[in-house]
Structure 1
């Protein structure tokens, strides 16, 4: 596994981040259940202005992971919600680099960043309810389902026919506790 370099994104990075996130979210994958079977990836769009808003918002960051060649290979967003809680969002890995442990490293760095920088003790994130393998992946990283769900923004999916129960499954992780301890 290559050594990654991490830094906080600036407005100058917005276009590059937009390309990474869009390509990662649109990627096709042969593993059943890893990417959606609903055609959502083909309709996913992210405006550069949305990335700039995340970068410039107070208590919000986009973290970038670059290879030793200074090539962007992964990113994740985070926003502090209160003194003890932050949300992670839009974890993305370059499609040519997936399955190499980069996502795990980016997630771990974001957890450490939130704890060091903001002093938070709990992180939250969500995953699309039909992404069973992604849900399992987050569970193996120590995230526990809260039992809560968030509605899927159907207005952003165009004319796609989506299952009635499609939603985001909410997760939380208490920082400083090993994944094996959280499973009990």
Structure 2
């Protein structure tokens, strides 16, 4: 399936390494927008294992969706999973750093929402973001996601050598399907 010049497809096990590489480069990328990256030391340490990516791809209730240009160059990816009959989760939205600020993230997010609705028919989508990534949180809110009031702890013990805020956590978001968020960009 394609949107303008962006083509989408479901990942296969053969895509494992390229997805991992893209996610790592996207999460490690420096960005001059204040509050976008959050903590550059933490971002520079982000890594995944191929087996973690492969396990998502091979699980019947989850996958990665891939966005490519007309020449087949991978522009971005997002993980999707069915969590309950009425709920799905989006995770690890990653855009090639060379494509940042080009609207690819919005296209991928919109495609993922549509994919979940077609495949699983959930009433809500959930995702999370690190509490110190203020610009990303605002971006999700402009896309129609709202804070649930729930948080998930960040594993600070795994990064003891970094100077991270003691209250660092994941902020949980939810979106009722059928809304784009663009109608009311208020935060």
Q: In which range does the TM-score fall when normalised by the shorter chain?
A: over 0.9
- How much has 1:111 moved relative to structure 2? 0.1
Structure 1 unaligned blocks of 5 or more: none
Coordinate RMSD, CA, aligned? 1.8
Corresponding residue for residue 113 of structure 2: 111
- How much has 1:155 moved relative to structure 2? 3.7
Tell me which of 71, 74, 77 is aligned to 1:75: 77
Structure 2 unaligned blocks of 5 or more: none
Quote the Cα distance in structure 1 between the aligned partners of 2:66 and 2:58. Answer: 15
TM-score by length of 2: 0.93
Tell me which of 166, 170, 176 is aligned to 1:164: 166
Aligned to 1:63, what secondary structure does the other structure show? strand
Quote the Cα distance in structure 2 between the aligned partners of 1:155 and 1:68. Answer: 43
Q: Number of paired residues?
A: 184
CA contact (8 A) 1:38 1:162 kept: no
Quote the Cα distance in structure 1 between the aligned partners of 2:75 and 2:61. Answer: 24
Runs of 4+ aligned residues of structure 1 deviating over 4 Å after TM superposition are 181-184
Corresponding residue for residue 87 of structure 1: 89
Corresponding residue for residue 55 of structure 2: 53
Quote the Cα distance in structure 1 between the aligned partners of 2:179 and 2:98. Answer: 32
Quote the Cα distance in structure 1 between the aligned partners of 2:83 and 2:64. Answer: 15
Corresponding residue for residue 64 of structure 2: 62
- 1:123-138, aligned counterparts within 5 Å? 123-138=125-140
